[in-house]
Amino acid sequence: MKTTLTAEQIANYRRDGFVAHPGFLYAAEVQELKAAVLETVAAMGKRKIAGDTHNWESGDSFYDKVFTQRLNLWRVNPTVKRYMLNPALGQMLCQLEGVDGFRVWHDQALIKEPFANATAWHLDNPYWSFYSRHAISIWIALEDATLHNGCMWFMPGTQQMARFDNVNIGANMADLFKIYPEMAQVSPVPVPMKAGDCSFHNGLTAHGAGANMTRGRRIAMTCAYMPVGSTFNGQKNILPEPYFQSLKPGDVLANDDWNPVVWQSA
Ligand SMILES: O=C(O)CCC(=O)C(=O)O
Ligand SMILES: [Fe+2]
């Protein structure tokens, strides 16, 4: 794992709200993580969230055909956990965001199957159970992500324009711009990646991905992180029901089982 960032990468991240980090995983690590992810996705079957008790029938809706989406693999697979909760990775997140510590929010395997739909422009943090201008995600390519098979695209600087209003990832690519018309003036930047490359993006940076125009699978592993000290905003997102019921808005989200600390400075 290449866990050193240059000063230029940190400066670019803070200006643009995203940065690419080529060569994050070495070849043997790509093989190990990819095998662990695919094995866990297969073992989860129709369960969308690891450990969840109810089956999600993946239907034929537009969203079902954006990607195969499985969450919280880290909770059931020790290899995935070793990568996603790696302290050196946690330290990189702190450098990028300039905060003291991060907890894991949730991970996600996102596999654009052959001929999958595009991922509409959206923000991430407003979906989650805390609001923060310092939430961050890593997106790791486990197969090459190209302009043809649906690589990620980001809108530089939009993290500064965002409030906590958002849209669902629906069939209309441009719905986000109904609530943020000013973002439609920003030129999007594609980030094609080789397997093992990753990017980081802020939870308020507008991003999306193209359709998969190929017969191959675009396989990505991602993870979202919450600054230590973040507070509950009243939204359930993927919180388990009993934990959700125990919370009131303003409570600090500090459950070490559900959201363990990835890294915190002393
Ligand atoms: O992989 C995709 O198509 C979208 C990923 C995404 O929205 C994210 O990682 O926040
Ligand atoms: Fe996203």
CA-CA distance, 4 to 242, in Å (whole number)? 39
Burial 173-204 (b: 16+ CB within 10 A, else e): bebbbeebeebeebeeeebbbebbbbbbbbbb
pLDDT given for residue 150 in this prediction: 98
CA-CA distance, 235 to 90, in Å (whole number)? 25
CA-CA distance, 139 to 89, in Å (whole number)? 12
CA-CA distance, 51 to 67, in Å (whole number)? 20
Kind and range of the H or E run holding 12: helix 7-16
* 137 pocket-lining for ligand 1 (C-beta < 6 Å): yes
Output the tens digit of pLDDT for each of the chain's 266 residues.
999 999 999 999 999 999 999 999 999 999 999 999 999 999 999 899 998 776 676 788 999 999 999 999 999 999 999 999 999 999 999 999 999 999 999 999 999 999 999 999 999 999 999 999 999 999 999 999 999 999 999 999 999 999 999 999 999 999 999 999 999 999 999 999 999 999 999 999 999 999 999 999 999 999 999 999 999 999 999 999 999 999 999 999 999 999 999 999 98
Q: Among 107, 222, 226, 237, which is best to mutate for testing ligand 1, by the most ligand atoms less than 8 A from CB?
A: 222
pLDDT given for residue 57 in this prediction: 65
Q: Among 127, 139, 149, 199, which is best to mutate for testing ligand 1, by the most ligand atoms less than 8 A from CB?
A: 139
- For the domain spanning 7-255, the CATH number is 2.60.120.620
Tell the residue nearest (CA) to atom 6 of ligand 1: 208
> Which amino acid is it at 89?
L
All structural domains of the chain with their residue ranges = 7-255
pLDDT given for residue 266 in this prediction: 82
